[in-house]
Chains A and B, each alone.
Chain A
């Protein structure tokens, strides 16, 4: 179970006007602007739930994921993942989670994907038999058989993303964080990834928290949606709550919602 209670997080961002002279000035005197990335964010996610976390760019989605995965420490508020504070017990905590950053790779660029997987096996100390079972299952479900022996740099984005997802699940985590997993993928890859996430949730009861800008992802995957804007939770409900009998397509509905909340 994941709980966040009144979590706040602010960043200090250096600001300056355009131009060389301004850049020189900022060497000596910097003006900072405090940006409130998260403002009293509270929610609870139960085991085995699939939650879509949406909001415009800069709304605080990634900050939330980073706090839940123990990378960042909140300024105030309480975070508990399976009864533990992520930042306090980093190593114990991360054994139980898998994280996919859609924009970043965790595979070694120049060696076959399987080499990266073998290294992960040692990093997570996965027992040989578990590793083999998981690898077989992931290879089948994500259709990796012909990819494992190619270096990551030679894979297409869609192929690589499938490998990334497999890499995050080798140690059978209970919670999976997906930060924009379908970004830049073609239709076939998107469908494959969605299909796999559904199966993973169904077979292993993995809790999935997914951020995305692709509303079809949300439609296909999640029953529960949390909408965040300007660091605040604006809505926590189902897809039907958002649609409210509105027949527009989902993208338009969401855009309307963003406008309505002025975010």
Chain B
């Protein structure tokens, strides 16, 4: 218990030092935040104009799609904010800074997480939250306790899955010593195609995103429940089920660390 407490304290300390570093570069921070906001705003605009022409996509209305997009965007930004250390891990491995992590008496994951906390992602989150609020108000969904819980689960599940993807990305760096661009298909790519409920891409994609990389578990299925298309209460808890994805990611990471210890440079 004591150990857990000290880990949490340490993590907060890491975040605090990251923020202190960032405050040294004020203008860069605000430009970054604005940039993040604008980039996702253009995506929003493209959706807006599309729905001006077509009133719905596969039966999903504009506000529902917006709700879907905003949760994905929020998940992605949260994961990027907290797990940025894994996203930029190739720099750490190649520069040899991972050695430093290994000579400190703390878990490797905790230290890599702490090495970078990207507050600039708040720009993207702001965008997500705005769309989210608009989506909620315009969707005409009657809000109750289970609806709110579903949304919370969607955010937890999504953040975990995206973080796991970053973790996998980092683990591969142990072997290639370099970031692999193709991994971006699963992170940035998912953020893009996740604008729409995954089912509109066809059955095969739906199967893939259900059983292989469980995007649909925190996006399409709970959305069905949320919008009242399905009354199956199980769909509400599916986003939590998506968290299984962190397990293979952790295993790969452990394997990677072992590989590093026996090679290194």
Q: Give the docked Cα–Cα distance between A69 and B265 (Å).
A: 14
Q: Give the docked Cα–Cα distance between A213 and B15 (Å).
A: 39
Contacts A110-B24, A111-B20, A123-B104 given; does A87 touch B261 at CB 8 Å: yes
Partner of B21, one of A72, A87, A97, A111: A111
Judge whether B142 is part of the interface by a CB distance below 8 angstroms: no
Partner of B99, one of A101, A108, A124, A151: A101
Q: 1/0 per residue A117-160: CB within 8 Å of B?
A: 01100111100000000000000000000000001000000000
| Residue in A87, A116, A122 whose Cβ sees the most chain B Cβ within 10 Å | A122
Judge whether B229 is part of the interface by a CB distance below 8 angstroms: no
Partner of B103, one of A69, A119, A125, A151: A69
Could you tell me if A73 and B106 are in contact, using CB atoms closer than 8 angstroms?
no
Could you tell me if A104 and B97 are in contact, using CB atoms closer than 8 angstroms?
yes
Contacts A72-B261, A125-B6 given; does A90 touch B17 at CB 8 Å: no
Judge whether A203 is part of the interface by a CB distance below 8 angstroms: no
Judge whether B27 is part of the interface by a CB distance below 8 angstroms: no
Residue of A nearest to B11 (CB): A122
Could you tell me if A123 and B10 are in contact, using CB atoms closer than 8 angstroms?
yes
Q: How large is the interface on A (under 10, 10 to 19, 20 to 34, 35 or more residues)?
A: 20 to 34
Which residues of chain B come closer than 8 Å to A101, judged between CB atoms?
99-100
Which residues of B10-44 are within 8 A (CB) of A?
Answer: 10, 13-14, 17, 20-21, 24-25
Could you tell me if A111 and B105 are in contact, using CB atoms closer than 8 angstroms?
no
**Distance from A181 Cβ to chain B, minimum over Cβ atoms (Å):** 15
Could you tell me if A119 and B17 are in contact, using CB atoms closer than 8 angstroms?
yes
Which residues of chain A come closer than 8 Å to B264, judged between CB atoms?
66, 71-72
Judge whether B204 is part of the interface by a CB distance below 8 angstroms: no
Could you tell me if A99 and B103 are in contact, using CB atoms closer than 8 angstroms?
yes
Could you tell me if A151 and B24 are in contact, using CB atoms closer than 8 angstroms?
yes
**Distance from A33 Cβ to chain B, minimum over Cβ atoms (Å):** 15
Could you tell me if A104 and B261 are in contact, using CB atoms closer than 8 angstroms?
no
**Distance from B84 Cβ to chain A, minimum over Cβ atoms (Å):** 15
Could you tell me if B105 and A95 are in contact, using CB atoms closer than 8 angstroms?
yes
The count of A-to-B residue pairs whose CB atoms sit within 8 angstroms is 69
Q: Give the docked Cα–Cα distance between A109 and B115 (Å).
A: 12
Judge whether A91 is part of the interface by a CB distance below 8 angstroms: yes
Judge whether B248 is part of the interface by a CB distance below 8 angstroms: no
Which residues of chain B come closer than 8 Å to A109, judged between CB atoms?
21
Judge whether B203 is part of the interface by a CB distance below 8 angstroms: no
Judge whether A242 is part of the interface by a CB distance below 8 angstroms: no
Contacts A73-B262, A122-B6, A122-B9 given; does A90 touch B21 at CB 8 Å: no
Which residues of chain A come closer than 8 Å to B241, judged between CB atoms?
none
Judge whether A70 is part of the interface by a CB distance below 8 angstroms: yes
Contacts A71-B261, A72-B261, A87-B261 given; does A115 touch B102 at CB 8 Å: no
**Distance from A8 Cβ to chain B, minimum over Cβ atoms (Å):** 13
Judge whether A82 is part of the interface by a CB distance below 8 angstroms: no
Q: 1/0 per residue B31-63: CB within 8 Å of A?
A: 000000000000000000000000000000000
| Residue in B20, B99, B263 whose Cβ sees the most chain A Cβ within 10 Å | B99
Could you tell me if A115 and B262 are in contact, using CB atoms closer than 8 angstroms?
no
Residue of B nearest to A104 (CB): B96
Could you tell me if A104 and B100 are in contact, using CB atoms closer than 8 angstroms?
yes
Judge whether A11 is part of the interface by a CB distance below 8 angstroms: yes
Which residues of chain B come closer than 8 Å to A91, judged between CB atoms?
105-106
Judge whether A106 is part of the interface by a CB distance below 8 angstroms: yes
Query: Could you write out 5 A-B pairs with CB less than 8 Å apart?
Result: A11-B265, A87-B261, A90-B102, A104-B96, A119-B13
Given contacts A66-B264, A106-B100, 12 further A-B contacts (CB under 8 A): A71-B99, A71-B102, A72-B261, A73-B262, A101-B99, A111-B24, A119-B13, A122-B6, A122-B9, A123-B104, A123-B111, A124-B105
Instruction: Give me the interface of A with B, judged by CB distance under 8 Å.
Output: 11, 66, 69-73, 87, 90-92, 94-95, 97, 99, 101, 104, 106, 108-111, 115-116, 118-119, 122-125, 151
